[in-house]
A and B are shown apart, each in its own frame.
Chain A
Amino acid sequence: MLSCRQASQLLSQSRERVLPLRQRLGLRLHLLLCDACRQFASQLKQLRRAARQFGARIENDERLRLSKNARGRIAQAMQQQVSTNEVARQNPDQNFEG
C-alpha cells in the first residue's frame, strides 16, 4: 500500500508523465481510501487552474504599462539602432558593428 507521502509524489508526477500501470493502480486504490490525499489531488487541480488564470490576468490588465522612463529608454535605444541601420545601409562596403 502506498503511503500518503508516496501518493503525493505520484500525484504531482502524474502531471508530467504517464505513470507505470502498477503505480497508477496503487495510486487509485490509495485515493479511494484516503480523504486527505483526495483533498490534495483536488487542490493540485485548483492550483493548476489558478496558475493558468494568473498569467492571463496580468496579460489582460491594461493598467499595467511600461513606465515613462522605460518607454523613453527603449525609444532612445531603438532610435540609435535605426541610425546604425541607416549608416550601414548607406555604406554597404564597410563593416559596422551591432
Chain B
Amino acid sequence: MTLHRKNSHDWLAEHGDYLYRYALARLRDEHLAEDAVQETLLAALQGSGFAGHSSPRTWLTGILKHKIIDQFRRQQREVALDAPDEVMDGEPGMDEFFREDGHWSEPPQAWGDPGSLVQQDQFLRILQGCLERLPEKLARLFVMREVVEWENEDICKELEISPTNSWVMLYRARMGLRKCIEMNWLEAH
C-alpha cells in the first residue's frame, strides 16, 4: 500500500501533540518524548500502512507504546551498569524509616483528602516534585507500575528483572514518595 505525502503531514499535524503528551506522561522528559514521537511516525511511514486498524490515532499510539517500552528498557539497562548497588536483597536505606524494634521512627500522619480541584492539583504537583527526587530507577519503575499501570509480570518480563527485585524497588519507591509527599503536603496545610 502506498502512503501518499498528504497522509504523513496529516499525522504530525493531527496526532503529533497527542502522541507527545502521551509519551511525556510516561517518559517525563521532553526530549525523550519528542524522540519517541519521531520514531513512531517514522516507523509508521516505513510500515505496511494503516489499513485495517480502528483509527489512525489508536494505531499510532500502539506503535508509540512499543517505542516507550524500548526507551524504558534502554534506561533500566544503563542504570544497572552504573549503579549495581541499587538492586539489593534486603531493604537497606529503610533504616531511616524504622527504629530497631521495628516501629516507625516517624509514624505516618493523617493527610486528609485533597478535596477541591486546587488541592488536587497541588497534591499532584507535590507528587511530581517527589518523583524527581527519587533515584531514577525507582521513579521509573513506580511510573511504569502506578502511572502506566502495567502488571508486575509484564514489567519484569520487559525489563528482565525478577519479581523480588521489582517488589523491593517498588517498596523503596513508595516509602520514599510517601515520606516526601507527607513533608510537603503537611507543610502546605
Contacts and interface: CB of A to CB of B under 8 A. Distances in A.
Interface string B19-38: 01110111000100010011
Interface stretch (B41-49, B52-60, B70-78, B79-87): B41-49
A36 B97 CA distance: 12
Contact of B3 (A12, A74, A85): A85
Contact of A54 (B128, B163, B166): B128
Given A3-B102, A50-B123, A55-B25, A66 B170 contact: no
B38 A73 contact: yes
A44 B178 contact: yes
Interface residues of B, number: 61
B66 interface: no
Contact of A81 (B46, B148, B163): B46
Contact of B174 (A4, A5, A35, A47): A47
Contact of A55 (B26, B91, B108, B175): B26
B127 A50 contact: yes
Given A3-B103, A54-B124, A66-B37, A89 B146 contact: no
Interface of B: 2-3, 5, 8-9, 11-12, 16-17, 20-22, 24-26, 30, 34, 37-38, 41-42, 45-46, 91, 94, 97-98, 101-104, 107-111, 113, 120, 123-124, 127-128, 142-143, 145-149, 152, 163, 166-167, 170-171, 174-175, 177-178, 181-182
Interface of A: 3-6, 8-9, 12-13, 15-17, 35-36, 39-40, 43-44, 46-48, 50-62, 64-67, 70-71, 73-75, 77-79, 81-82, 85, 89
